[in-house]
Structure 1
Amino acid sequence: MEKHEYSVGLDIGTTKIVTIVGRRNAHGKIEILGVGKAKSLGVHKGIVNNISQTIQSIKAAVAEAQSSSGVLIRKVTVGIAGKHIRSLQHSDYIMRDNPDQYITEEDIERLKDQVKKLVMLPGEEIIHVLPQEYKVDSEGEIQEPIGMHGKRLEANFHVVVGQMGSIRNIARCVREAGLEMEALTLEPLASSESVLTKEEKEAGVAIVDIGGGTTDIAIFKDNIIRHTCVIPYGGGIITDDIKEGCSIIEKHAEQLKVKFGSAVPELEKDSTFVTIPGLHGRPDKEISLKTLAQVVNARVEEILEMVNTELKAYGAFEQKKKLIAGIVLTGGGSNLRHLRQLANYTTGFDSRIGFANEYIANDKNQQLKGPEYATSIGLLMESLKIRDKKNGLEQPEEVVEKQEIIDTPKVIVETPEFRTEEIAVPETANRRKDKPTIGQKIMESVKKFFEEVE
């Protein structure tokens, strides 16, 4: 396989490390070439705390991806999370030497580079500088200034900051695993690439990615990133609560959570029990599913309250900043039964589960269907964007949209009850416009009748 034909996303999570190799097909969708997974042994709450174990886990995931894809992996786009991540708003500007020449990508990069020189707190480093809105001279609220003329170029930026030590540790693990880090991307931004639609970002939406060690949040409004944060709790702490609350080992606690866990105790019956095998000849233990749900509910409610606090910090309950598209839950933790109902009740926003496989062209066996792959696929998509930019290619978004319209043999009709019904498109809809319709034929007959009477 030729160089630059493929891209790689590397998700260094708290519970698992995933490597996905893929490329873009002719229709703009992603063709997966190979996937590698390994248990994450050296990461705690999104932060590397054991270098050698993390390196071994990365090597194992990469080796499996190389074996299944048949390509040699060299460059990877890596995700970063952890409680050390914070974000801030900043405005800056540059004065252009020649206002008669139109604004180019170089001007945008010069403005970004100026923001990257901001003095941070000791030990912190800027990860992302994300433009929100531009202003050219006196003209504001500009989404795309390239091609415009002006002397002063100004922008509001969303700046994502992280601890220098954590960033260096990730870079070292990737390097010592024999890889080159193409880019470092905040994980909720990667997840948003793979599960959010353009319409949702326009209307206002919060993506809540519940991983093993952290819950990552990104809020979009008017197609602009407005707020990002990382909550240092995820699915792992729910497993710990089950382990302690039910007095069982971690392996059984994880299995209980995945197979029988529920976020709403009221939906579980008192009479339903699950039997856990005893250790070394000890008697089996019976656990009520209602009791299990109560343990899960207590921690999930706490996480969702933290999410609510972040939504309030952004101003999501104000009329102008309202999230019309609500919340998209993703990550492995979103597989928990009845989580969506609890999220609706706790936050007051409608929510859905975000799956990343709609962008995948060849996921016939539904291997990547689960929301736990949202970040991995998002990192792959980010890597593909970087490659396209280097090759001077535009992302074929329009091709995807046109393809979807052509391939869809139905019309979605909104009924007064806010439900959607699928109505098959009649064959007459595809007939040539020059053929008269039934209505036109009736009108012709009526017209002819009156002409004969006259």
Structure 2
Amino acid sequence: MNNNKIAVGLDIGTTKIVAIVGQRNEHGKLEILGMGRAKSLGVHRGVVNNITQTIDSIKKAVAEAEKAANYKIKDVTVGIAGQHIRSLQHSDYISRPNFEDVIDDTDLERLKEQVHKLVMLPGEEIIHVLPQEYKVDSQTEIIEPRGFHGSRLEANFHVVVGQISLIRNIARCVKEAGLNLIGITLEPLASSDAVLSQEEKEAGVALIDIGGGTTDIAIFKDNIIRHTAVIPFGGNVITDDIKTGCSIIERQAEILKVKYGSAWPSENKEIEVISIPGLHGRDPKEITVKKLSQIIHARIEEIISLAYLELRNYGCEEQKKKLIAGIVMTGGGAKLKHLRQLTEYTTGMDVRIGYCNEHLASGQPGELASPEYATAIGLLMTGLDNLQIEPEKKEKIIPTNEETPQQSVIQESNKKVTKIKKEEKVASKPNKEKKKSIFSTFQEKFIKYINDTE
């Protein structure tokens, strides 16, 4: 077993915390070595509100994963989400002094750095700037502007913004749990890696991830993420509605939702009755399946309507922005019966439930393909992808064998040439890394900040 190729995805959710240890086999498929799961006690709607409880939950999930995998977990890749994440569209431009020079990476970076200087609300920070389409002078709808001549370079950007203090709280919990944070990414993007195909991202698709505390939305078109949003409602709100509507405790409400719940009330369920044990010798309660479905239907329809509003805000009804691949639903809430049918009825779009089967090696436990583990699987994939980049970095940094005196003279005489080559590599490297992970710039700055504040 090659430890260098083992990664760990840590999903810190509102309902549960999941740690998954895995590696890729010779066919590029995921082999899950171990998984740990613990109830999330200190997170509310994707935001840490009790650091001590969150640390304890992380430790429990990690300890269970270590035992199952027989592997000591040190490095983890973590997702960020929550209602504090928001996005906005912004257009900006730069003027180029010499229009005869072709546009290169320097121009693109200068344009993106200009967007990073936007003034945000207090406490907010730009997480990443995602270019959509470029315009060079009067020529529009340019996807790849490198190599063009022009005096004015303009672009539309999708800007992702978050409360940096809340993200730091998650990082602190990870470090206090004795773990090393080596990767961080938006959870909707991690989920999209696990359940969406390249063809769907090319054709246009909306990912709706219904978690415990929030519903995350990510829209892709032409293999570019076009829109992100977070709705502050998830599966826990449905559970609370059942608890209030049926006058039962939370644990019983969760069992009812999972075992008997449906997003679509059925007329012939009026006579089907569920008996719930009473508390401390009290008489049992009787609830009809139809009443249960009506309570669930009211809330899940609201969540779907809010998600569809985000799709319309993006412009999915326009011919140019039409989402040909429709909607893919994932997350724990996607397991609700008849959710696909209700979503199709509400939106008029094609809908499927997102499973992770495509990326898992044969012989893996069936539960791992469940939509509720999509984020954790996606974070594991991100961690493994980052491990493939690291050896390339080390290969360029580690010197070769010790030099002989003659070699030292040659090296000394060629110092300037070597320095120029290294600068060229450094200049070209960021662009390659950004193609692998659109959050790599923020990730490196943020992790450096965490390490510096130890």
Same fold, TM exceeding 0.5? Answer: yes
Equivalent residues, number: 393
Equivalent residues of 2:214, 2:234 under 8 A apart = yes
Point out the more displaced range, 50-59 or 258-267.
Answer: 258-267
Alpha-carbon separation, structure 2, partners of 1:17 and 1:296? 25
CA distance in 2 between partners of 1:75 and 1:99 (Å) = 48
Q: Is the 8 A contact 1:357 1:363 kept in 2?
A: no
| Distance in 1 separating the partners of 2:330 and 2:172 | 29
Query: What fraction of aligned residue pairs are identical, expressed as a percent?
Result: 65
Is the aligned partner of 1:254 residue 2:248?
no
Unaligned runs of at least 5 residues, structure 2: 394-431, 434-454
1:335-414 matched pairs, under 5 angstroms = 335-392=335-392
**Secondary structure at the counterpart of residue 368 of structure 1:** helix
Q: Confirm whether residue 245 of structure 1 aligns to residue 265 of structure 2.
A: no
1:355 aligned partner, one-letter code: Y
Q: Residue 114 and residue 303 in structure 1: after superposition, are their counterparts in 2 closer, same or farther (change >3 A)? A: same
Q: Does 1:298 align with 2:329?
A: no
Q: CA deviation at 1:64?
A: 1.5
- Equivalent runs, 1:38-437 vs 2, <5 Å: 38-92=38-92, 103=104, 112-134=112-134, 141-144=141-144, 148=147, 155-266=155-266, 268-392=268-392
| 2:410 aligned residue | none
Moved more, 206-215 or 167-176: 167-176
What displacement does 1:171 show?
1.4
SS at match of 1:337: coil
Distance 2:338 2:360 in 1: 27
User: For the pair shown, which has the larger CA radius of gyration, 1 or 2?
Assistant: 1
Q: One-letter code of the match for 1:312?
A: R
- CA separation of 1:194 and 1:145: change in aligned 2, threshold 3 A: farther
Structure 1 residue 135: Cα displacement:
5.2
What TM-score results when the alignment is normalised by the length of structure 2?
0.80
Q: Once the 2 structures are TM-superposed, how far is the Cα of residue 71 of structure 1 from its aligned partner?
A: 2.5
User: 8 Å contact 1:32–1:362 — kept in the other structure?
Assistant: no
* Alpha carbons of structure 1 residues 64 and 140: separation in structure 2 relative to 1, 3 Å: farther
* Structure 1 residue 103 displacement after superposition: 4.0
The 8 Å contact of residues 7 and 383 in structure 2, kept in 1 or not, is answered as yes
Cα distance in 1 for residues equivalent to 2:174 and 2:114: 28
Contact 1:268-1:289 within 8 A present in 2 as well = no
Q: How far did 1:83 drift?
A: 1.4
Q: Do the aligned partners of 1:11 and 1:375 also contact (CA within 8 Å) in 2?
A: yes
Q: Distance in 2 between matches of 1:177 and 1:150?
A: 52
State the 1:386 CA deviation.
2.3
**Alpha-carbon displacement from aligned partner over 1:101-151 (angstroms, at most 9, x marks no partner):** 8845x77666545543432111101223223234567765444566x4667
Residue 154 of structure 1, CA deviation: 5.2
| Residue 183 to residue 143, structure 1, CA distance change in 2 (3 Å) | farther
User: Amino acid of the residue matched to residue 74 of structure 2?
Assistant: R
* Residue matched to 1:401: none
- Counterpart amino acid of residue 162 in structure 1: G
Task: Supply the distance in 1 between the matched residues of 2:260 and 2:379 (Cα, whole angstroms).
Answer: 31
Q: Output the amino acid matched with 2:357.
A: N
| Aligned equivalents of 2:226, 2:302: Cα separation in 1 | 24
Q: Give the whole-Å Cα distance in 2 for the aligned partners of 1:31 and 1:108.
A: 39
The residue number in structure 1 matching 2:445 is none
- 1:395-417 CA-to-partner distances (Å, cap 9, x unmatched) read 9xxxxxxxxxxxxxxxxxxxxxx
Q: Deviations over 1:239-291 (max 9, x none)?
A: 01101101111111000000000011126521111111111111111110001
- Structure 1 stretch displaced more, 90-99 or 366-375: 90-99
The 1:228–1:272 alpha-carbon spacing in structure 2 relative to 1, beyond 3 Å, is: same
Q: TM-score, normalised by structure 1?
A: 0.80
Query: Does the CA contact (< 8 Å) of 1:96 and 1:151 recur in 2?
Result: no
**More displaced, 125-134 or 180-189?**
125-134
Counterpart of 2:183 in structure 1: which amino acid?
A
Aligned equivalents of 1:121, 1:363: Cα separation in 2: 49
* Cα distance in 2 for residues equivalent to 1:371 and 1:359: 13
Change (3 A) 1:230 1:297: same
User: For residue 377 of structure 2, what is the amino acid of its counterpart?
Assistant: I
**Which residue identity lines up with residue 346 of structure 2 in the other structure?**
T
Matches of 1:323 and 1:50 in 2, distance apart?
Answer: 39
CA–CA separation in structure 2 for the residues paired with 1:267 and 1:71: 52
